[in-house]
Amino acid sequence: MRRGLVRAVRGKTITGVAFSPVLPRQLSCVIDVNVTDRKILEIHRHGKLLSFRLSDGVDLLAHLGMSGRFVLRPFGQRHDHFSWELNGATHLTYNDFRRFGRLEFGSSERARNGLGPDALTTDFRGSVLAIRTRRPIKIVLMDQTIVAGRGNIYACEALFRARIDPRRAANTLNPDERTRLVRAIKEMLSQAIEHGGSTLRDYRGTEGQAGDFDAEFLTYGRAGQPCHRCGPTLAITKVTLDGRATYFCQGCQF
């Protein structure tokens, strides 16, 4: 999503704003700051946090939650919440039907302080996962304060690729396994980005395009289907961890 936003809105000036009269609480701050005539200098991402740096040094921080999306069309469709007109021509509209997304003005540096390293940077190494907790490794991978940038799907997929059982207590992973897991996460996320993300149901890029990395899923949503490593003799299993659907193969993930 960041890549699409950079192409479409970086360097442009905000020339108008529009809001829904019934803004979700978590978005109410967007009316607090008058952004007209400010320029979008850059768009950053750290984990799941997007930030738009505006020309006066303030950042608009955006977390898309489950169904938030930025689209390049004028405000007006169902579940549109706010919109910026850019250079008197382009429109950047935020749409979020489940309304779990959050927007706020603030400092992206400060917001990042509460997050672990982004999973695609060199700061994310095996040592980041060398923690004492007995929580399942999958729960640790979803904890954004430890490492930022995966949710339920990509935690399952990475653990399959690294051949590690999602239920394993995190403190039982040895250094080799931690390194394997870090490498698997980086490879998988890079591929997912090249595929334009995963349009399981709702996700769309800025141009409304679907991402097709969900065709590459090896575990998520595949309960009962053959394991890609073990063949038809073993099926992908679904369990619940911390209330979240968790898919893995009992044959090749230890």
Partner DNA sequence: TAACACCTGTTC
Partner DNA sequence: GAACAGGTGTTA
- Spatial CA neighbour of 171 closest among 205, 209, 137, 197: 137
In what side-by-side order are the strands of the sheet with 226-227?
A: 226-227, 231-241, 244-249
Q: Does 79 bind DNA (CB under 7 A)?
A: yes
| Total residues at interface with DNA (CB under 7 A) | 34
Q: Choose the binding region for DNA from 9-17, 32-40, 121-129, 240-248 (rule: CB under 7 A).
A: 240-248
Rg of the chain's alpha carbons, rounded to an integer? 20
Specify the stretch interacting with DNA by CB under 7 A; choose among 6-14, 63-71, 184-192, 225-233: 63-71
Instruction: Determine, following the binding rule CB under 7 A, whether residue 44 of this chain makes contact with DNA.
Output: no
**Beta-sheet strand order (sheet of 80-86):** 14-19, 80-86, 90-96, 68-71
CA distance 221 to 230: 17
82 near DNA, rule: CB under 7 A: no
Shortest distance in whole angstroms from residue 45 CB to DNA: 12
List the one residue from 6, 29, 58, 66 that touches DNA (CB under 7 A).
66
The full 3-state SS of 97-156, as one line of letters, equals: CCCCCEEEEECHHHHHHCCCCECCCCCCCHHHHCCCCCCEHHHHHCCCCCCECCCHHHHH
The residue type found at 194 is E
Whole-number minimum distance, CB 226 to DNA, in Å?
20
Q: Is 134 in the site for DNA (CB under 7 A)?
A: yes
105 touches DNA (CB under 7 A): no
| Nearest CB to DNA, comparing residues 201 and 233 | 201
To DNA, the closest distance from the beta carbon of 210 in angstroms equals 9
β-strands 49-54, 102-106 pairing: unpaired
Question: Both tokens of residue 86?
Answer: 């850019």
- Given candidates 52, 70, 94, 203, which one binds DNA under the rule CB under 7 A? 203
Q: With binding defined as CB under 7 A, does residue 144 bind DNA? A: yes
Nearest-angstrom CA–CA distance, 213 and 51: 24
Residue 195 in the binding site for DNA (CB under 7 A): no
Q: Which residues bind DNA (CB under 7 A)?
A: 24-25, 47-48, 63, 65-66, 78-79, 97-100, 102, 133-135, 142, 144, 150-153, 197-203, 242-245
